[in-house]
Structure 1
Amino acid sequence: MNLHSLSAAVQRPDPETEAAAEQYRLRLPAPAGALGQLDALGAWLASVQERCPTEPIARPRVIVLAGDHGVAAAGVSAHTERGTTTLDLVRAVLDGAAPVNVLARTAGDVPVRVVDICLDADPEQLPPDTAKHRVRRGSGRIDHEDACTLEEADAAFAAGMALADEEADSGTDLVLLGDLGVGSTTGAAVLVAALCGVDASVVTGRGSGIDDYAWMHKCAAIRDALRRARPVLGEPMELLAAVGGPQLAALSGFLLQSAVRRLPVVLDGVVAAAAALVVQRIAHRATDWWRAATPTGEPAQDKALERMLIEPLMQHKVHTGGGAAAVLTVPLLKAAAAALAELPAAEPVAEKMADGPDVDAYDAT
């Protein structure tokens, strides 16, 4: 994986269009600042679309990358105690019965696509389109061993890139990026702790709703995995192989290639944020293509977003996963695009004066 060439291919959203949008906003009837966050979002959408006024968001899509994590065996997830598997969570999405499906329907029937990267299940249990990007079955227990091999991390990263290309080529104009994976917040916390240089206790959250006893197990697993992460901190792919695993590698590849393809992405929760932090190390300009949905209560997410200077769009604290929080941003982003595109704008002063002074204005004197 030639990360240097990929980094060079990432350009920032168009600054001239963003500046034009900010000037255009001053000609709209609502006073500057009256629309609050919609002003900044409208300028951002104009810059990623390279159009001012903006075009409507017409084809948003939820992309959910799913995978199992061996560290779940350390008792770090309430799903394990409840007997819920990642396959159960994926099936709920495929059946249209998960929270993300309900919220996607209320947001205008936003399509939801779930992709198996490393589920610990037979691929025959899933539709072919869901399982076609699978890299391996499950992943290693990161407090004891690597999550996957370097070759598998490369393959997962490439799978994420291919997914981004598929979405860009199909006309998707906004990605709502989520994840499903029992134990996934543990791997995400390790990546954030390693990249931000903090201790395990700083990034250990409650994930799926664990109690204090499970929290201590999770903190210990993150601490042990951090010891294995630090020697490879300077090599993103080796870091993903050691403590991230195929799912986080695929999310990273997706985010990087989305930036290359100029495809804006809303990050759903801590796992997507951790992958974004990895990509920031590869291509710092990529962060300008992302927005975050809402704080989830996971300290690792807060730390990652703070490091990337990304402020969440909402404060709803939805943390059910699977892209549900990201879906809630669709009405907000559609409103920002519409406010910039549909409110009547006054003519620029230069155009008013193009034919000379207004003679009638002087008659009164």
Structure 2
Amino acid sequence: MTLEWINQPLAALDNNAKEHGIERQGQLTKPPGSLGSLETMAVRLCAMQGVDKPSVDNAQVVVFAADHGVAAEGVSAFPQVVTGEMVKNFSRGRAAICALARQNNAKFEVVNLGTIVDLSVMENIVDNTVMPGTSNFAQQAAMTLAQLSQAMAAGKAAVDRAVANKATLFIGGDMGIANTSAATALTAWATSQSVASLVGPGTGLDAQGVSHKSQVIELALAKHAAAMTSPLEALRHVGGLEIAALTAAYLRAAQVGMAILVDGFITTSAAILAAKIQPQIADWMFFAHASAEPGHQTMMASLGADTILDLGMRLGEGSGAGVALSILKSACVTHNEMATFAEAAVSEKSA
């Protein structure tokens, strides 16, 4: 599959629906602006969905899982086998994001792009294996162009399944030991920020481990600098299969006009890459939470965006988005179900 599809135009926001949303907010039984960001979120959803009364009740959660060859450099506190073990945990419905998806009545699936351990056929797991984890990007390019294309095709296909399921919101999650190293490398390339300002402990490295991780990433970026001439080449050289799939999923969701809820550190790196490819994509994105990973604040500043929540979370999986989904639901129900001043026979603000 070629990658030409990523340059197809994004869907247009419905400005008429947006104006109707703003008008309705001004008529609801409350002082103007008193619901704060809930009002802004509801109006944005009106524009995304082209409706007067938006809904995110039918959300689709997709966790993309893959291993990373750079784990061989000692950049993670956990062994690589954990990726495959967590895929099994997802299949059993026992991970944090599984519980949050159930709480929100969201559809849930995992897309396996390649782990170092062979995984049998499991419930809720879509096998889109490209390779048994990326190559070690400290030594060579993480993947070939054909492998990148295959990973991105898996992300596109996940969104197309969500469309078939009539999903109203797309949440991408991630699982992959050492993927904070890939996310840091990609973000440093995309934002021209220093690795030191972005690197963090990931799954629990100590200060010495973080310093080593930073050095590995810096050397890799220097090694591949001349070849990383585009977002796709950056993904190919220092990215991850799941980050490539996430990038593609975000692009596809915006092309088909589906609202996107971005999770945390890993998924935001994919959002930044997607924005390098299609700058207007941020119009289709909500950002769930402020990750406790140190570089996430820098990432959000580069996007000029704010997060819905700040709960000190850094788990990944889409878990922060699973919590923030409840807030988006609150934005919808207050917008949709509150009475207007006229309906409630309540006096409006004095002129």
TM-score (norm: length of structure 1): 0.89
- In 1: Cα distance, 2:252 partner to 2:304 partner: 20
**How many residues end up aligned between the 2 structures?**
343
- In 2: Cα distance, 1:2 partner to 1:132 partner: 20
Q: CA deviation at 1:192?
A: 0.3
Identity %: 26
Q: CA deviation at 1:252?
A: 0.9
* Paired residues of 2:108 and 2:124 also in contact (CA < 8 A): no
Q: CA deviation at 1:12?
A: 3.9
Gaps of 5+ in 2: 344-351
- Note closer, same or farther for the CA distance 1:119–1:5 as it changes in structure 2 (3 Å cut): closer
* Paired residues of 1:69 and 1:140 also in contact (CA < 8 A): yes
- Note closer, same or farther for the CA distance 1:109–1:172 as it changes in structure 2 (3 Å cut): same
- In 2: Cα distance, 1:155 partner to 1:34 partner: 47
**CA RMSD across the alignment:** 1.9
Deviations 1:150-201 (A, max 9, x none): 1110111111111111111211111221100000010000000011112221
Q: 2:173 aligns with which of 169, 178, 182?
A: 178
**Correspondence 1:9 to 2:6:** no
Q: 2:91 aligns with which of 86, 94, 116?
A: 94
* Paired residues of 1:251 and 1:272 also in contact (CA < 8 A): yes
Q: CA deviation at 1:3?
A: 6.0
* Paired residues of 1:144 and 1:224 also in contact (CA < 8 A): no
Question: For 1:145, what is the secondary structure of its paired residue?
Answer: coil
Which contiguous aligned blocks of 4+ residues in structure 1 show a shift greater than 3 angstroms? Answer: 1-8
- In 2: Cα distance, 1:210 partner to 1:132 partner: 31
Question: For 1:298, what is the secondary structure of its paired residue?
Answer: coil
In structure 2, the partner of 1:268 is 263
1:30-109 equivalent positions in 2, closer than 5 A: 30-52=30-52, 54-80=53-79, 85-105=82-102, 107-109=103-105
* Paired residues of 1:192 and 1:300 also in contact (CA < 8 A): no
Gaps of 5+ in 1: 349-365
Q: CA deviation at 1:84?
A: 5.4
Deviations 1:249-285 (A, max 9, x none): 1111111001101111111111111111111111111
In structure 2, the partner of 1:361 is none
**Correspondence 1:151 to 2:138:** no
In structure 2, the partner of 1:196 is 191
Q: CA deviation at 1:336?
A: 0.6
* Paired residues of 1:3 and 1:282 also in contact (CA < 8 A): no
- Note closer, same or farther for the CA distance 1:132–1:3 as it changes in structure 2 (3 Å cut): closer
* Paired residues of 2:186 and 2:239 also in contact (CA < 8 A): yes
Which amino acid is 2:97 matched to? V
Q: 1:312 aligns with which of 290, 307, 310?
A: 307
Q: CA deviation at 1:326?
A: 0.6
Q: 1:139 aligns with which of 118, 126, 134?
A: 134
Question: For 2:295, what is the secondary structure of its paired residue?
Answer: helix
Question: For 2:109, what is the secondary structure of its paired residue?
Answer: strand
In structure 2, the partner of 1:25 is 25
Question: For 1:164, what is the secondary structure of its paired residue?
Answer: helix
In structure 2, the partner of 1:358 is none
Question: For 1:85, what is the secondary structure of its paired residue?
Answer: helix
